[in-house]
Structure 1
Amino acid sequence: MIKTGKQNLITDVPGIQVGNAQDELIRTGVTVILPDEPAVASADIRGGGPGTRETEALNSDCLVDVVHGIVLSGGSAYGLDAAGGVMASLREQKIGFNLGDAIIPIVPSAILFDLLNGGDKDWGVKPPYFDLGFKAAQAIGKGFDLGNIGAGYGAIAGGLKGGLGSASFVFSEGESKISVGAIAAVNSMGSLTMPGSKTMWAFPYEQNDELGKQPMPEKNTKIDLDFSFELPLGKNTTLVTVATDAVLTKPQARRVAIMAQDGLARAIRPIHSPFDGDCVFVLSTGKCELSDPVVGVSKLGMLAADCVARAISRGVYLAETMGDLESYRDRYGS
């Protein structure tokens, strides 16, 4: 049986917590995903304009085999400072690799572009992202809001107000009960809705009316396959983290990340453009054995992609209008 987790959040995965911080004046924010214990991690980057930190360390041929957190941040390249704030918070708690007297937390991160959303970006000499990262890491917990929060606070998604979304599944795999969840900061160039319709591309994957009972496309509806590109371009990116309690190696985590990228394509059109920096991280807390290393990873990756599509859509569905950035529900109704 496959069902949503109790909260329908990535934190339904045991051992995963999330923290958010945002600046309402600047219209930006940071989201932190922290495992209770160091977790196996990998990433898959498909966008043509990514901004990342420490992602090379996640390659299977690199020495580091676990990480201490993942950071998703607004701010474009300035937002890469957020990982430093998270590292500072973890170091205070003595979390990280111990090399002699040194404590070094490994915190891969990725950023989205929210510098042209109407917020006051005149922050002076010091960008706010180190402090926002520190604040988010200090605010971790199992429950958190969706929509205008964290890295999704200042996001724009295909002409609608973007946001932070999350979703989860729990399913049986052999003798194990596996949890998988996703969190997404949605700032896409592509649209989440079909042309001339309020129906989201991800409508088939909706669970328990989490997207307001998405309407089915009318029978024999011919979908316009063209797309109107809003100018100026280059202000986009959707960032995702998938977490699971299944035992995964780094190569297996990489395969799940590759499969989970399909969730972006199920929810956003177009996706992975030259102007997006789309990135999917995967965290494995390694508590539940898969009965089969091939079939189990295949099923996990399939459901991870579904969670990603749902998380992306929930982030936009639950976002609220901000200034002249109109929300999905204000435009189409809830």
Structure 2
Amino acid sequence: MQHLREQKVGHVYAEGKTLPGVAGAIIYDLEQGADFAKRLEVTPDRKFGYEAAKAARSGPVRQGSVGAGTGAGTDGPGLRLKGGVGTASLNLGNGVTVAAFVVVNSFGKAYDETRGCELYSLHLEVGNEFGNTRRPPAGCQATTPSSKPADRPSADVDKNTTIGVVATNAKLTAPQVQKLAQVAHGGLARAIRPAHTMSDGDTIFGVSTKKGAEVGPADFNRLLEGGANAFGRAVAHAVLSAQPVAGRPTYCQTFPGACDGYAPASAPADDGAQQPALAAPAAHSGSPGGGGPGGAGGDLLSLAAPALVVALGFGALMFRRPLRRLMFLRGNPVPRIDRW
């Protein structure tokens, strides 16, 4: 709040005075070994958030077991596998880009046991961003004992949440931004199954920088599709880029041969040619923007990242319970929380 106020970012309510609006979400990542136990003695304070916001930069975004993803996990065979931070973007042409940032800490699995334990979101690949990632040669014959999610200790059931941001530079209205976040939940459900369970508090924030072109109804639907797919791709990057932490293995370790050829990158590349250019209104024009490292995608993600400042890995159930009541109001995830 202080940093944004200093930068005069937010709602101007009087001459020279700005009121920033900050949304937040968290994951539960405690009980991860001795090093993580020490964090119980550390409480994120005002200075912590200020320094995090001040350090935000444009350009490539690190992925895997970093930041909020350091202690994140996803369901695995007999034990939790590592989750993490993942990003993806898509250049839609005419200067419009949509990008996703996710922290995977899910109750559900990121891989399909009915298809040899390959990642659910492999079919969403743009270009060759996943390298030679494939179905594990040995199928679901993991290096660890397998078991069903229900067989896990009941204490683990209430410690899951996948959070993220879907952002675009297209000029969107508030209802359109809400729809962008809402549809991105579909991308989450394509990449993690089951998703949106009573053991999750899945939250996605929508962002529009309004620095790009306006979009008509047909192009807005394509933007929604691109955002949902980007979110699903970001989940795959989070899982593939993960590193073992506190004895928790990764998907690539558990299923040898599945990730051969995948090279974790600071930000997934996007060739910008997977979909035809947007038909922007006549009053607006622009050249296609970059969606790869250092391009529009990286800039969008750096703008979206401050929305997750509160989610830098300091989870607390005391905050998650009231949030969950908002999340599952009428059985539907609430993609935008204005007054939390």
TM-score bracket for this pair, using the shorter chain length? 0.5 to 0.7
Higher RCO (CA-CA < 8 Å; seq separation 6+): 2
Q: 1:186 is matched with which residue?
A: 104
TM-score by length of 2: 0.64
Question: Residue type of the partner of 1:314?
Answer: H
**What is the 5 A alignment of 1:114-153?**
114-118=29-33, 119-121=36-38, 123-124=40-41, 127-128=43-44, 130-141=46-57, 142-153=59-70
Asked if residue 317 in structure 1 is aligned to residue 253 in structure 2, the reply is no
Counterpart Cα distance in 1 of 2:220 and 2:84: 29
1:201 is aligned to 2:120: yes
The separation in 2 between residues aligned to 1:122 and 1:322, in whole angstroms, is 15
| TM-fit CA distance, 1:122 | 5.2
Query: Identity, % of aligned pairs?
Result: 34
SS in 2 for 1:170: strand
Report the number of matched residues: 237
Looking at structure 2, the residues matched to 123 and 227 of structure 1 have their Cα atoms a distance apart, in angstroms, of: 30
Structure 1 stretches of at least 4 aligned residues deviating more than 3 Å after TM superposition: 92-103, 121-124, 129-132
Aligned to 1:332: 255
AA partner of residue 302 (structure 1): E
Q: Render the CA deviation track for 1:250-302: whole Å, top value 9, x for unaligned.
A: 1111111121111111100110011111011111111333442x212211111
Is 1:242 the counterpart of 2:161? The answer is no
Deviation of 1:140 (Å): 1.1
Output one character per residue of 1:208-251: Cα deviation in whole Å (capped at 9) or x when no partner: 43334232599xx9xxxx95333221100001101101111111
1:91 aligns with: 5
Alignment check: 8 A CA contact 1:180 1:242 kept: yes
Q: Distance in 2 between matches of 1:300 and 1:151?
A: 27
Name stretches of at least 5 consecutive residues in structure 2 with no aligned partner.
Answer: 141-146, 260-340
Q: Distance in 1 between matches of 2:51 and 2:215?
A: 40
List alignment gaps of at least 5 residues for structure 1.
Answer: 1-86
Contact 1:263 1:309 in 2 (8 A): yes
Question: Which one of the candidate residues 130, 146, 162 is aligned to 1:211?
Answer: 130
2:219 aligned residue: 296
Following TM superposition, by how much is the alpha carbon of 1:136 offset from its aligned partner in structure 2, in angstroms?
1.9
CA distance in 2, matches of 1:122, 1:114: 10
Q: Tell me: CA distance 1:243–1:295, structure 2 relative to 1, closer, same or farther (3 Å).
A: same
Paired residues of 1:256 and 1:297 also in contact (CA < 8 A): no
Question: Could you say which structure has the larger radius of gyration?
Answer: 2
> Quick one: which amino acid aligns to residue 86 of structure 2?
G
- RMSD value over aligned CA atoms? 2.4
Residue 164 of structure 1 corresponds to 85
Q: Deviations over 1:169-196 (max 9, x none)?
A: 0013xxx331000000110010101227
TM-score (norm 1): 0.65
CA deviations on 1:287-318 (whole Å, 9 max, x unpaired) are 333442x2122111111010000001101110
- Mapped pair 1:259 → 2:183: yes
For 2:45 and 2:163, the matched residues in 1 are separated by 17
